[in-house]
């Protein structure tokens, strides 16, 4: 299953009064919006794969697996001045 | 005489094990169970690791403490290494040539998906700890 949501949290300053962002990203909408462009790019992708002698179906399968595996990834960076957290669900 | 010791001596008498092996077994029996085994931890089935964790802690003189915490699913790593199989053959040749020029006798075409899976399966035993003097940096890489 591809990730359907993500959260990006940004905080400025270490204190609780600091500036905070909490941005939920509905990835499902991103995928839906990107779908027409992906369909348009598909023939180019196939031609590029065939030109470089790579099996396009295998390439698509691996990219799909890569996308699916992004779920539960969590990256956080904390600093005195700011911190950022990216969590993909 | 304990049952374990008698069993070892029986095996020695029966010619199933050598004297050295019997000696080692008896020594192990005398040492008794390890603390982990005594608490039952050894009997607990080991769960396969699911995440690769990278934790970096540093204290910069000017910027203060910096913390980086990454939790990446091992599945992502598994899918990532499969990308290597998409390298076009002509590019593989170039990479192999460059590797040979730098003294690395490694052939990319020899990497099979099974090898990569095996490699990732064994990452569970991996722990890397790096303590740097500069900025009091500590890097820890492990699987959980």
- The domain spans of chain A are 6-84
Report helix, strand or coil for A24.
strand
Residues 6+ apart with CB under 8 A from A3: A27, A67, A68, A70, A71, A88, A89
Cβ under 8 Å to A: B residues 14-53:
51
Q: What is the pLDDT of residue A43?
A: 94
Estimate to the nearest angstrom the gap between the alpha carbon of B12 and the chain centroid.
Answer: 35
User: Taking CB atoms and an 8 Å limit, are A80 and B86 in contact across chains?
Assistant: no
Selecting from A54, A65, A74 the residue whose C-beta is nearest the C-beta of B88 gives A54
Long-range contacts (CB closer than 8 Å, 24 or more residues apart) made by B98-106: none
> CB distance from B109 to chain A under 8 Å?
no
> CB distance from A50 to chain B under 8 Å?
no
pLDDT tens for residues B1-35?
667 777 777 777 777 776 667 777 777 777 665 54
Burial degree of B8 (CB within 10 A; 0-12, 13-18, 19+): buried
Which has more pLDDT, A50 or B136? A50
Report the predicted TM-score, pTM, of the whole model to 2 decimal places: 0.66
């Amino acid at each position: 299953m591809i990730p359907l949501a993500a959260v990006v949290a940004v905080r400025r300053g270490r204190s609780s009064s600091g500036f905070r962002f909490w941005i939920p990203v509905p990835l499902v909408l991103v995928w839906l919006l990107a779908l027409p462009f992906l369909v348009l790019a598909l023939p180019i992708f196939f031609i590029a794969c065939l030109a470089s002698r790579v099996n396009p179906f295998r390439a698509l399968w691996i990219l799909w697996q890569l996308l699916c595996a992004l779920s539960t990834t969590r990256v956080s960076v904390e600093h005195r001045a700011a911190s950022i957290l990216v969590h993909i669900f | 005489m304990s049952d374990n010791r008698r069993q070892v001596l029986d095996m020695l008498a029966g010619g199933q094990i050598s004297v050295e092996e019997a000696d080692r077994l008896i020594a192990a029996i005398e040492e008794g169970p390890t603390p982990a085994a005594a608490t039952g931890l050894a009997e607990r089935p080991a769960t396969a690791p699911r995440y690769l964790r990278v934790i970096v802690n540093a204290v910069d003189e000017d910027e203060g403490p910096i913390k980086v915490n990454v939790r990446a699913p091992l599945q992502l790593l598994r899918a990532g290494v499969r990308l290597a199989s998409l390298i076009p053959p002509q590019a593989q040749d170039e990479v192999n040539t460059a590797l040979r020029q730098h003294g690395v006798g490694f052939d990319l075409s020899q990497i099979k998906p099974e090898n990569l899976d095996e490699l990732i399966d064994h990452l569970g035993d991996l722990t890397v700890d790096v303590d740097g003097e500069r900025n009091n940096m500590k890097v820890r890489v492990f699987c959980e």
